Structure 1
Amino acid sequence: MAMSGGKLPRQRMWEAIRTLAKSNVALTTYNVSRRSGLDDEAVRDYLRALGKAGIVRQLQAMARDALWELVSDEGAEAPRVNKRGERQPPEAVECIWRALRILGELNATEASAQAAAGGATISEHGARIYLQGLALAGYVSRSGGTPGVPAIYRLLPGRYSGPLHPIYQRCTYEQVYDPNLDKVVWVKGQQPDPAELSGLRIEVERLRKLLDEWLWANEWTDAQAAPGGLVERTQAEIPE
């Protein structure tokens, strides 16, 4: 899993594409590669896929490089397209994470249905495993779960760390990785291991990243506003 700063490679490429498209710097494969920190071949593949999807257009071929134009800025999230330019559905757990943010609580059956509504597929059992992982990491609380009464998983106040879904990793050991924080927030068997401490770590990391953004304020030009809804996100952290 290649991640840096909590962002997947295509997300970093997309942000570089959007930034270059709004600047006086040429939108080329080389410049996207340098700005995103990814190799030229990976950038070239993604630009070609975006081109087939009609999101960018190649203006000029230059040996192994090319000059591109952003035709359709689809917002902050990197477009999901395969090599043929076909749209790819979101991951099931991404749909569940988004539904938790909107609805506040879910049981496993509802989580599976929310994933299906988003164009993804996950069994009720798979949804339950993911929700249990979020509970272990301190993102949600769990209530119920007796025979005939499905367990309800409720998103805890202040535990929504961002739009990227926390990843419940089950390989040789269990852990939850949060790409919004670029941090493993829970590991099975860690001491101490109360969910409340995991939740507090999530809040601290989120606030630290918010503070880091403000510390870069002197890099903004007079014509620039606070990036990424920073003011609104900061106000949301201040209790009424």
Structure 2
Amino acid sequence: MAKRNQPTLAGDVPSRQQIWESIRTLHANKLTITMARLDLLLPKVPASRITDYLRGLTAAGYLERNDPHKKPGKVVEYRLARDIGFEAPRVRRDGSEPPAPGREQLWRTMKIIGEFTAADLASAATTPDRTIAEATAHEYCKFLARADYLAITREPGPALPTRYRLAAGRWTGPMAPQIRRTKELYDPNTKSVVYSRVTRVDGGEP
């Protein structure tokens, strides 16, 4: 049975997303973006991680330095030059964009293709930069179905794989729900655990 809206740790949200949300908050409040202000908003995120992300965002054109020729001892101030919305840009330190993780590709693809099997989804989500294995898609679909994100449109049978579709109203946002090592499904869009596997006394699953 799915468990919804359980409390969770802030650390479950990727640090990149936390930094980006804090940048947008400062911008919305008409405050310049500085390391000191981000440190106050993000006490659990290492300063080195914030610095690396600021560098990448600047190189990619999302941020601009107010004084590109900072003098020693002067605080570096940034402004948000390119706001793409809620989802944090994925950038390396040099500003280049890495390929999207496999589950992000699966999550976004299933919104587009209608009904699908795990094989259909893996094929549609595969790009020249990243190949998605059918086994990866199968595991992800299984967890999303248990959390009621996917509706089953055809039960599996002899030589017939399960068919799915995204359930009505279950697209919660652009960030892919994550399968934790504890076999829970965590949705970073809602910041909640949406499924937790319950183990039977005899060791099986319900």
Code of the aligned partner of 1:29 = M
Q: Residue 126 of structure 2 aligns to a residue in which SS?
A: helix
Note the C-alpha offset of 1:123: 0.5
Taking the TM superposition and a 5 Å limit, the aligned residue runs for 1:9-28 are: 9-28=15-34
Q: Residue 86 of structure 1 aligns to a residue in which SS?
A: coil
> Which of 134, 151, 155 matches 1:124?
134
> Which of 173, 198, 201 matches 1:189?
198
Residue-pair matches, total: 190
Greater share of residues in helix: 1
- 5+ residue gaps, structure 1: 195-240
> Which of 157, 170, 186 matches 1:146?
157
Q: Which residue of 2 aligns with 1:68?
A: 78
8 Å contact kept, 1:50–1:85? yes
Q: Residue 106 of structure 1 aligns to a residue in which SS?
A: coil
Note the C-alpha offset of 1:39: 4.0
- 5+ residue gaps, structure 2: 1-7
Task: Give, in whole Å, the separation in 1 of the partners of 2:24 and 2:42.
Answer: 11
8 Å contact kept, 1:6–1:178? no
Describe the shift of the 1:137–1:22 C-alpha distance in structure 2 as closer, same or farther (beyond 3 A).
Answer: closer
Structure 1 residues 82-141: Cα deviation after superposition (integer angstroms, max 9, x where no partner):
122211222221122222233343211221123224954310111111111112222223
Q: Which residue of 1 aligns with 2:52?
A: 45
8 Å contact kept, 1:139–1:159? yes
Q: Residue 141 of structure 1 aligns to a residue in which SS?
A: strand
Task: Give, in whole Å, the separation in 2 of the partners of 1:47 and 1:66.
Answer: 11
Task: Give, in whole Å, the separation in 1 of the partners of 2:76 and 2:193.
Answer: 38
Structure 1 residues 10-56: Cα deviation after superposition (integer angstroms, max 9, x where no partner):
11211222332344322212122323443433221110111222222
- Is 1:177 the counterpart of 2:183? The answer is no
- Is 1:155 the counterpart of 2:166? The answer is yes
Ranked by relative contact order (alpha carbons within 8 Å, sequence separation 6 or more), the top structure is 2
Code of the aligned partner of 1:180 = N
Q: Which residue of 2 aligns with 1:208?
A: none
Q: Residue 160 of structure 2 aligns to a residue in which SS?
A: coil
- Is 1:54 the counterpart of 2:58? The answer is no
Equivalent pairs: percent with the same residue? 32
- Is 1:86 the counterpart of 2:86? The answer is no
- Is 1:110 the counterpart of 2:120? The answer is yes
Tell me which moved more, 9-18 or 124-133.
9-18
Note the C-alpha offset of 1:73: 2.2
Structure 1 residues 42-88: Cα deviation after superposition (integer angstroms, max 9, x where no partner):
22111011122222222334648411132322232111011222112
Task: Give, in whole Å, the separation in 1 of the partners of 2:128 and 2:83.
Answer: 22
Q: Residue 77 of structure 2 aligns to a residue in which SS?
A: strand
Structure 1 residues 139-183: Cα deviation after superposition (integer angstroms, max 9, x where no partner):
2233233343232112222333333222123x3x42212222322
Q: Which residue of 2 aligns with 1:237?
A: none
Task: After the TM superposition, list the runs of 4 or more consecutive aligned residues in structure 1 that deviate by more than 6 angstroms.
Answer: none
Task: Give, in whole Å, the separation in 2 of the partners of 1:119 and 1:129.
Answer: 21
> Which of 87, 95, 102 matches 2:105?
95
8 Å contact kept, 2:186–2:192? yes
Aligned Cα RMSD in Å? 2.8
Q: Which residue of 2 aligns with 1:222?
A: none
- Is 1:34 the counterpart of 2:40? The answer is yes
Code of the aligned partner of 1:105 = E
